[in-house]
Amino acid sequence: MVLLPPSHFTDVEGMFPEDGPNAAMLHATLEGRVPGRVLVDDAQRPSCALVQADYYGFTFPSRPMPPSFLKEGIERLLEDGPVLLVWPSESDVPAASVDPPVAGLTLERVMLRGFDVSSMPLHGVQVPEGCMLSPMDSGLVPRCVWHDQLMRAMGSIDRFLTYGLGVCLLRDDTILSEAYMCFWGSGVAEIGVVTHPDHRRQGFGVLTARHLIELCEERGLDVYTTCYAANEPLRRVAVQVGLTEEVPYLLHVYGAASAEDFETIIASEKSQSPDRA
C-alpha cells in the first residue's frame, strides 16, 4: 500500500462513479483543486484506491474494493486523523460489493440533486430593493459565516478564489446570505448556502443559492448539495431551488475523538440552515 504522487491522482479516476455522493469533492481532489491524498495497492498499476480529501477526512473507496485493502487503508489514514468513509445507503449496499469495517459512528446523509429550472425560473427570483448580489472576493470571504469551512475545504482564500465560486447577497456593506461552490469535477458541482442569523426566514438563502446554481449551470456543471438527513430546513430549501431528487447515503466515522464531536457538527449545520430563525 502506497501513497500515489499527486501527478498521478487522475490515474485512478476510472475506478470511481462520476455521480455518487460527494462526487464533486472526490473528483476535485483527484484533479488537484482541493488538497487530499490517494492510497493505492500498486503505484505503477493500481487496481484499487482510497481517496481522502482534507475536508474533515471525507474518504472514498474505489470499486472494486478488497476488504483487506479497505481495512488496512483506513488504519493507515487514521495515523493522520479521523476517517469519514462515504458509503452507499443500505438499499444500495450491494453496489459496494464489500462491507466496511465496524465504525465508531454511522451518520445518515442525503444528496439532493436533479435540478429542474421550471421549479424556480431565474426571472422569478428577484433581488430585494436596496440589496445586491456580489461575487465573493478577498474582502468578502473573511467576513463570511462559513469562512472557516472554506479554509478547511480549500486550504486558502487564494485557492478558493482560483477554483471555487461564491455569491453574497448584500445590503449596503452587510452580508445577508452567502452561497458557495468549493468542489467541482467530472461535470458536477457541490454547493452550500447559509443565511446570517439576523436575516433568516426572508427567502435570502433560496435567492442566493438559485443565482449560484445559474452560474454553475453556465459552466456546464450539474449542481447538487448534501446534508445530514436530520437537516429538514436545508432539505426544504433544496426543493425550493429545484434540487428535488434525494439520494440517501451513509458516513462511517472512524477515529473521531467522540460521537459528540459529530453530533455538534450536525447541530451546527441545522442551526446555520438558510431558512431557520
Cα separation, 5 vs 126, whole angstroms:
47
> Per residue in 44-69, pLDDT tens?
999 999 999 999 999 999 987 899 99
Q: What is the pLDDT of residue 277?
A: 27
Cα separation, 67 vs 75, whole angstroms:
12
Characterize the bridge pairing of strands 58-61 and 49-53. antiparallel
For the record, the C-alpha cell of 145 comes out as: 459565516
> 133 pairs with which residues across the strands?
169
Please provide residue 184's backbone torsions phi and psi, each rounded to the nearest 5 degrees: -150, 150
Secondary-structure percent of the chain, ordered helix, strand, coil, rounded to 5? 35, 30, 35
pTM: 0.89
For 234-241, what is the mean pLDDT?
Answer: 86
Write the DSSP string, 76-114: HHHTTS-EEEEEE-GGGGGGG-SPPPPPSEEEEEEEEEE
> Per residue in 64-111, pLDDT tens?
789 999 999 999 999 999 999 999 876 554 445 678 999 988 999 999
> Per residue in 131-143, pLDDT tens?
999 999 999 999 9
